[in-house]
Amino acid sequence: MALGVFAGMMPILPFQTALAVTLALFFKGSKITAALGTWVSNPFNWYFLYHYSYKIGSWVMGISGKNKMSNAIMASIHQGEEAIVILGKIAGAGGAISAAFLFGGLILGIASALPAYFIFLRFFRLVKAWREKRRMHKRWQRERP
C-alpha cells in the first residue's frame, strides 16, 4: 500500500499505477494493494498534489515558483483537462520545471509513504488477527457436540 501511496504522489498521472506495480514487483510486495494505494491521487485532489509538488520541488531546487508555464499547467489541472494533456504540458515545460514537479512529488511521496506503511501494516495485522479469530471460532463450533 505504501508503494502505491508513493506512486500516487508522483506527478505522472496516467502512469502512477504502472509505477506502483513495478515497485511492488521489485520489492516483492502485493501488486493489488500497490495499485489500490495510487487511489490517494484522484480528480478531487490532483490540483493540490500537483501544486504542492511544484511548490516544494521549486523551493528545494531554488527556482522561481511562479512563471507562465507553471501557471498554465496549474490552470489545466484546475480546469480538469485530460491527464495525458497535463503530463504533456509538464514534459514540454522544460527541464527545470519538469524536475521541480518530479522532485516535489518524490518528497511528497516519501513523506506520505512512510506513515502509510505503518498505518496499513497495523491495519492488515488487525484484519489478519480478526480473520484468524473468526476461523478458530467456526472450527470450535463445528467440533462442538
Q: What is the pLDDT of residues 62-71, one digit of tens each?
A: 887 667 777 7
pLDDT-derived band at 144 (thresholds 50, 70, 90) equals confident
Predicted pLDDT of residue 145: 64
Predicted pLDDT of residue 53: 87
| Section 28-50 average pLDDT | 86
Q: What is the pLDDT of residues 84-105, one digit of tens each?
A: 777 787 777 778 888 888 899 9
Predicted pLDDT of residue 92: 77
Average pLDDT, the chain: 86
Residue-wise DSSP of 72-85: HHHHHHHTT--HHH
Q: What does the block give as the cell for 32?
A: 493489488
Residue-wise DSSP of 64-129: -S--HHHHHHHHHHHTT--HHHHHHHHHHT-HHHHHHHHHHHHHHHHHHHHHHHHHHHHHHHHHHH
Q: Where do the domains of the chain lie?
A: 2-143
Predicted pLDDT of residue 65: 63
| Section 32-43 average pLDDT | 88
